[in-house]
Amino acid sequence: MNTQPCIECVPNFSEGQNPEIIKRITDAIESVSGIQLLNVDPGKATNRTVVTFVGHPEKVIEAAFRAIKTAGQLIDMQQHKGEHPRMGATDVCPLIPISGISMLETVQYANRLAQRVGEELNIPVYLYEEAQANPLRKNLAHIRSGEYEGFFKKIKDPAWKPDFGPTEMDLTRGATVIGARNFLIAYNVNLNTTSTRRANAVAFDVREAGRVLREGNRPNGKVLLNADGTPQVLPGSLKHVKAIGWFIDEYQIAQISMNLTNILETPLHVVFDEVCEKARIRGLRVTGSELVGLVPLQTMLEAGRYFLKKQQRSIGVSEAELIKIAVKTLGLDELAPFNPSERIIEYNIAQKSVPRLTALSLNAFSELTASESPAPGGGSVAAYIGALGASLAAMVANLSAHKKGWDERWEFFSDWAVQAHSLQQQLCTLVDADTQAFNSIITAMQLPKASSEEQQLRKAAIEQATLEAIRVPYQVMQLSFAAFESIAAMAREGNPNSASDAGVAALAARAAIRGAWLNVKINAQGYAQHPEVMQMLVAAATIEQKSQDIETEILQCVESHIKL
C-alpha cells in the first residue's frame, strides 16, 4: 500500500478565455517533477479557470507557488471581467488532504505556501477555512466580499489586514486566498430560464444561508430586524451549501452555482433533487447540471445507487453502470461530454499510474499469461477465476431482481447482488496484488549481499515479500469461499432460468479456492514454522475442505432446477 502523503490543489485563476495564458500557468505547474495535472476547466462566461493537480505536499506547494507567480505576471486584474466573484489573478488556492496526511499537516503546508507568496511575490494573502484561526475570517465569501474593486479600501481596515504580504492592494495581481479544506464540489444546476432573479430565488431557497426577510416579501422592501438589530433570516433547506444564481451567456441559460462544502452530510444527489423540487415550485425546470473540476468516485457511486433505488432496481451493478445512471439522471452531459476517466479523481490518477492487469482485455491478459514471464501466474489466474464466480452470482441476482412478476423481491436480490459484486471487486484487486507480491520477491532477491549487514537486510526483505506472497492467495481463498453464500442463495432462490449460471459460479469459486491453496502451499515452503504462516495454513486447509462439500450441495440444487 502506498503510504506517501498526497494532497490535492485546486487553484482558481481569473482567466478563462485566453488558452495561451492558461497553458503557461499549467506549464508552470507541470514543471515540478512528480506533479500530476488532473484537470483544467476554463469557463468563458466566468472568465475563470479551475485547475486540479495532486502530488507530494512539498511538490504541490512548489507547483502552486510557480503557478501563482506566473498568473500574476500574465493576468491584469484591471482588465478582468467575469460572472464569478473574484479578488485576484490567483483568486483562491486551497489544499485538500487526499491520503497519508492529516488536515493539521495540510494546514501547515498552506501556511508555508501563503507566507512564501506574501513575502517573495509581495502579494496580499488571506488564509481561509481550516488554515484560518480567526472564525470571522474562515469563510471565503466573507473574505472576498467587495471583490477586486472594493479591496483597495477594504484592505486598509485593520480587521481585514492580510495574514501575509503587504497591506496595499496590488493593482494588477489583486490579492489571493490560500487555505486548507475538505473536498469541495463546485456544482452548477441548469434551469429552463434566462432570468438571474428567478435563479437566485431558487438559490436562496436551498442555500444554508437562506435569504434576508423583507417587508411584504418584496425584493426592495425594508429589511426586517430581530430584537438585537440584526436582519431576520430564513435559512435555506440544505446545510453545507453555498449558492447564487447567474446567467451564462455562453449557453444562454440561467444557472444555480453552488459549492457543496460537506458532501458526507449533504451529498450531490440530495442537492440535485432538492433544487429540482424548489425549481418546480417556482414554475421552473431543471434541464441538467455540470461539475466544475473533479469529483470523488464515491460521490458518483452513491448518486447512481440513490437513483436506481428510486426506480426499485438492483444496485449491485458495476461502477460503470452506477456512474452512467448518475450522469444521465443529473444531466451532467447536457452542456459538454462527461468523461469519467477525466472527471472522477480516482480514475484520473489511476490512468496516469502503472497499468493494471485488470485493465487489459481478456485476450491481452491470456496472451500475457501465456508468455515467458512468470507473472501473472497461477495466483493471479486463481483470483480472476474467483472474481468471475462472484460476478456470475451478481448477474443472477440482478436478473432475478428485474424478473417480471418478482417486483416485490427486488430489494432482496439487490442486497445479494451488492454482496457478490463487492467480493468480485476485491478479488479483482488481488489479481494485480499477486503479481506485485511475486515481483517483490524477485526485487528482494536481487538486493546486494556482500556484507553481513546487507545479507541481513536482504534476508528480512525476502521474508517480508514472501509473507505477502502467502497472504494474497490466502485472501483469494477467503473471498472466494465467502462468495459461496451468494452463489448458494441464487441457486436456491434466483431465477431458475439462470440456474446453470449459479452452477458455473460454484465451479469457479471452487477452482479459485483450490488454485489459491496450491499457491499458499508452494510459497510457504521454508516458512511453515513461522507463526503467521502456521495460522494461515490451518485456516486455509479448513476452507479448502469445506469448499468441496459446499460446491457439491450447490451443484445438486442447480441440477434440481434443470429438467431434461
Is 1 inside any structural domain? Answer: no
Separation between Cα atoms, residue 452 and residue 196, nearest integer Å: 76
Q: What one-letter code names the amino acid at 99? A: S
Domain boundary among 350, 382, 410: 350
Cell 443529473 locates to 330
Q: Are 314 and 273 in the same domain?
A: yes
Is 355 inside any structural domain? Answer: no
Q: Which residues are catalytic?
A: 84, 434
Separation between Cα atoms, residue 156 and residue 462, nearest integer Å: 64
Is 109 inside any structural domain? Answer: yes
Q: Are 171 and 213 in the same domain?
A: no
Asked if 131 and 107 touch (Cβ cutoff 8 Å), the reply is: yes
Residue 240 belongs to what domain range? 185-350
Output the pLDDT for position 183: 85
Is 357 inside any structural domain? Answer: no
Q: Are 545 and 409 in the same domain?
A: yes
Output the pLDDT for position 1: 36
Q: Are 256 and 318 in the same domain?
A: yes
Q: Which three cell numbers, joined as nine digits, stand for 559? A: 441440477
Domain boundary among 151, 180, 209: 180
Separation between Cα atoms, residue 440 and residue 462, nearest integer Å: 8
If one counts the domains in the chain, the total is 3
In DSSP terms, 52 is beta-bridged to: 39
Tell me how crowded residue 300 is: count the other CB atoms within 10 A of its CB.
28
Output the pLDDT for position 353: 64
Q: What one-letter code names the amino acid at 11? A: P
Q: Are 49 and 129 in the same domain?
A: yes
- Per-residue model confidence as pLDDT tens digits over 445-468: 999 999 999 999 999 999 999 999
Output the pLDDT for position 506: 97
DSSP 232: P
Is 60 inside any structural domain? Answer: yes
Domain boundary among 180, 201, 219: 180
Q: Identify the helix (H) or strand (E) that includes residue 185.
A: strand 185-191
Output the pLDDT for position 359: 84
Q: Are 311 and 448 in the same domain?
A: no
Output the pLDDT for position 180: 96
In DSSP terms, 546 is beta-bridged to: none
Q: Are 120 and 239 in the same domain?
A: no
Question: Which of 79, 77, 83, 85 lies closest to 124 in space, CA to CA?
Answer: 77
Please give the model's pTM, rounded to 2 decimal places: 0.74
Mean pLDDT, 10 residues at a time, the chain of 564 residues = 75 94 96 91 90 94 97 94 89 91 95 97 96 92 92 94 95 96 92 96 95 80 84 92 92 94 93 98 97 89 96 93 97 94 84 76 92 89 97 96 90 95 94 92 92 92 94 97 97 94 97 97 93 96 96 95 86
